[in-house]
Amino acid sequence: MSEPVARTRPPYIAVIGDGDPRGPDSNRILEWAEEVGQDLARGGAVVVTGGLGGVMRAASRGAAGVGGETIGILPGADPAEANEFVRTPIATGLGVARNLVVVTSSDAVVAVGGKHGTLSEIGLALRMGRSVVALSSWRVESEGRLGGPRIHRARDPREAAALALRLAREGPQQPT
Helix (H, G, I), strand (E, B) or coil at 48: strand
3-state secondary structure of 46: strand
Are the beta carbons of 50 and 15 closer than 8 angstroms? no
Handedness of CA 87, 62, 66, 100 (dihedral sign): negative
Alpha carbon distances (Å) from 63 to 4, 35, 49, 67, 139: 26, 8, 11, 7, 26
Task: Compute the distance between CA of residue 165 and CA of residue 167 in angstroms, rounded to an integer.
Answer: 6
Backbone angles phi, psi at 98, to 5 degrees: -65, -20
Amino acid at 82: A
Task: Provide the sign of the torsion angle of the four alpha carbons 58, 48, 15, 159, taken in this order.
Answer: negative
| Least Å from the CB of residue 158 to a second copy | 19
